[in-house]
Each structure stands twice: as C-alpha cells, then as structure tokens.
Structure 1
Amino acid sequence: MAVKILLYDDNEALRQSMETLLGEEPDLEFIAGIPNAETVETDVRELKPEVVLMDIDMPGVNGVEAVRRIRRIDAQLPIIMLTVFDDNENIFRAICAGASGYILKRYASIEVPSAIRNVLTGGAPMTGSVARKVLLMIPPAHNSDQEKTDLSEKEISILQLLVQGFSYKMIAAQLKISHDTVRFYIKKIYDKLHVHSATEAVSKAIKDGLV
C-alpha cells in the first residue's frame, strides 16, 4: 500500500509540482496540499498521513510552530521540512521543534522521494549542504566529555551517519555491517543518550556536540 504524504506550502505552483512528482512514484500517495497550517492538528487526525512535508515560511502558523503542534499530538509522525531557507537559525529551530529531516526546495525533485523512503526506515534525511551546516553548527559542549566517552567508536561513527541523514540500510552499506547489527548499535545509542528516536538522537548529538 502506498505511503500517504501530506504537504503544507503556501505556493500553489509548488503544491502542484509536488503532487505531480509524487504521483509518478507507485509507492507514494499525495493525499493533500494545504496552503497554511492553521488546522494542522485536525488535518493530521483526519487525513492520517504517514509523512508530512512542511514549508517554514507560511502566513499565520509557520512551519516550525506547525511541527511543534504536531509533536504535541504525535511524537512519531515523520516530518520533513521542505524550504528555501538554509540558514543556521531556521535549521536549528526546525530540528529542535522535532523535524525529522530538512530538504531544500531547489533539490526537491531529486531528493524528496528518496527522503520520504529514508525517513520511514529511521533516517534523518537532509540536503548535503544542510547536513554539513548541522555538523558545524554548535561547538562541543563542555559537559559532554563523560557522555561522549560512554559511546564506543563504532557508536559515534553510526551517530555521525544518522546526523548526516543516513538510513539504517545506508549505514549498513557504509560500514559494511548487517542491517540487524545497525539496529543493535542504534538501540545502544538510544539507551546511552536516553532518547527514543533518530530525530531525538540527532538533536541531542547536535546540541551536546557529540559528533
């Protein structure tokens, strides 16, 4: 069954182009394109999307606030920011609000379908330039030394790949280990960082300077 995709963007041309793009993917279903996030909680409850694509700059309720509202009712629903903004402030605010990924609109036609599949397998997809900014955004925290030493070299390597947006399958291929081994290490990372998802792990890694 096709994955249900809900898009929020006030640009009608963008909504139409995304509907066309996703309509060409047999495993993805574009269920609605909504120009603002005023009713985001009701939309999510009624339409039951499996992935949300979210613009940042919208009238009324902006994308970051919309992510916060969704997270109050659903902590697990994957939300990918789809935006023109690649500045540090917007990236950081979106990730801290609970975004699962961050794709720049100029790469949408190339990256969005794979980003949707990536986020559904536990990844945190990001446009390459955004991933690099995320890695450089925050200096190491002074109080992170003990926590960093609690992570093994392999766990740090895997955490770095999660921050860069790699899915479990991609991590397995990159490190030449099995998918089950990746899951084993990621469970240990979650336990050590006291988090429950890839998004939380990426956010904590960024804020605490763990990678």
Structure 2
Amino acid sequence: MIRIQRAGERYPGGDPAAGIETRHALSFGPYYDPDNLRFGALLACNEERLAPGAGFDEHPHSHTEIVTWVVEGELTHADTAGHASVVRPGDLQHLSSAGGVRHVERNDGPEPLVFVQMWLAPLTPGGEVSYEVVRDLNTAYDLPAAGAVLRVERLEAGASTELPAADFTYVHVVRGGVSLGGEELGPGDAARLTDETDLPLLATTDAEVLVWEMAAP
C-alpha cells in the first residue's frame, strides 16, 4: 500500500512572526489528526525554516530518537548533556533523548536555515542520552534503537534505485523530482509504503531523497 502526502497537505506550524516556519507531516502539538499520529517508528517529520537569528529556546525531550538533516544554512545545537555543535548541509545529527534532555536549536548564521527533523520512537524507553553528528553522510545511517535505517539517495536525472523491502518505508523528497509507483513527487512530497517490495524510485530531475526503512515493533 502506498499513501502520498503532498507538500501543501502538511500542517503549518512554527512562529512565522519570530522567523520560524514549520510544516508537519504527522500530528504535532495542536495539529491533531487521530488517523495520522505515526507511521512505523516515525513520530514526526518536520520541515523547518529559520530566519537568521531565529531559533527554538531551550526545551525538553525524552524517550525519542531525534534525527536532523540540514538542507541549507547552519544549525547551532547545544544541550544540557554538554554537547554543542554546528551542523551543515549534508550533515546528519542524532540526539537520543533517553530519560530526558533539554536543548537549544538556532540559526546563528547569516543565511536562512532549512532542515528536516524526524522523531522516532525507541524500541525500549530510557537509557543514556547520546549525541553524534555524521559529517557529509553518504552511506546508510543505522538507528537500531528504533529498528530503523535512514538512506540518503542522491540521484541524477534518469537514475533509479530500488527501495528496500521493509515493513514500513517512508520517502521524503528534499529536492528535485522523482517518480514512485506511477506518482510524480516534488520537494516536500512524501510517500508512505507498507509491505511493498521491488519498487523503483526514479529521478525525473537531479534529486535528493530521504528514505526510512523501518521494522514493525
């Protein structure tokens, strides 16, 4: 089964007056849809746009695996476990909030910041807070705590790749255009696949796509 969600169907959020524009793929905060609470391990897939100087003040997380993919600009991160870094395009950031941590996310750079932030439910709650940044990710990122793998597909126009066989597969188009199951997808569009196998992802233009492969709990 394939379910397509267009970019324009995402829930608007953030605080535009403060320079924060958010588009939620799944129910988030006041944007509640009982039929759209999660997909596999995925609890949130938020497109974030922060103006220079804008950001999220210190706020808490717990029992969530938070994976962030920076598209444009620079993301400044600092948390109460002592981690601090600047995350740039092509970098992947992973914060395992475990029993609880607070952090700050800001755009301290001179250019607009665009990133995709994804929250996943851990298979087992608790544990120790951990943090890492993978610079210039060009391979699959394994997230065993959530029974998930993230693949970053960078395809030239006309190139294709087969999506992995998985209980749940989530496809998010970062840039460019692709064709999947007869559907044309553009930036911000997403596809949710359940129990699909041998399905090709074809780039109709140069494209960058995030693909989550998730096992059933």
Both proteins in one fold, TM over 0.5: no
TM-score by length of 2: 0.27
Greater helix share, structure number: 1
The structure in which a higher percent of residues are strand is: 2
Which has the bigger relative contact order, CA under 8 A and spacing at least 6?
2
